C-alpha cells in the first residue's frame, strides 16, 4: 500500500475484486488486496462457496475472521482459528459454511499464486 515504514488501511479503503472461475470455484469470492509486499488478502466467501483442491507457491498463514470454513481432511475452521500451510501443499476441496466466511490470507514469501490439482 505504501513505501512508508508504517501504514494503516481501513476496509472501506480497499477495492473489491470479485473472483469468477467456474472451472474451480462454485459460488462467489470477493477479494480485498491489502498489500503485495508482504502479500495480504482478505477473502469473503459467499455462503456454501466451494473451491477445488489447490496449492499456493509460498508458505501461507490463514486467520479466520467470520463464519465457518471447511477443508477436506482438516476439519472446520471458525473465527479466531489460525492455519499454516507449507508452499506447494495440495489441499481441498474447501468450502464456506451456510453463513459464508471471511479469511485473511498472508503469503509469507514472494510467489503467492494458486495452482489447481487439475
Task: Name the residue ranges covered by the structural domains of the chain.
Answer: 14-110
C-alpha span between 71 and 6 (Å, rounded):
34
With contact defined as beta carbons under 8 Å apart, do 112 and 56 qualify? yes
DSSP 90: -
SS3 state at 112: coil
Query: Could you read off the pLDDT of 17-53 as tens digits, one per residue?
Result: 889 899 999 999 999 999 888 899 999 999 999 999 9
Fold annotation for 14-110? Jelly Rolls (2.60.120)
C-alpha span between 110 and 117 (Å, rounded):
21
The answer to whether the pTM exceeds 0.85 is yes
With contact defined as beta carbons under 8 Å apart, do 67 and 108 qualify? no
Amino acid at each position: 500500500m505504501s513505501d512508508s515504514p508504517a501504514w494503516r488501511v481501513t476496509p472501506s479503503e480497499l477495492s473489491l475484486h470479485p473472483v469468477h472461475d467456474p472451472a474451480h470455484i462454485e459460488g462467489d469470492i470477493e477479494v480485498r488486496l491489502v498489500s503485495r509486499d508482504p502479500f495480504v488478502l482478505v477473502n469473503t466467501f459467499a455462503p456454501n462457496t466451494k473451491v477445488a483442491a489447490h496449492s499456493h507457491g509460498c508458505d501461507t498463514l490463514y486467520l479466520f475472521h467470520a463464519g465457518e470454513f471447511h477443508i477436506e481432511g482438516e476439519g472446520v475452521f471458525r473465527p479466531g482459528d489460525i492455519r499454516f500451510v507449507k508452499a506447494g501443499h495440495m489441499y481441498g476441496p474447501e468450502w464456506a459454511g451456510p453463513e459464508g466466511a471471511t479469511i485473511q490470507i498472508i503469503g509469507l514469501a514472494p510467489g503467492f499464486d494458486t495452482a489447481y490439482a487439475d
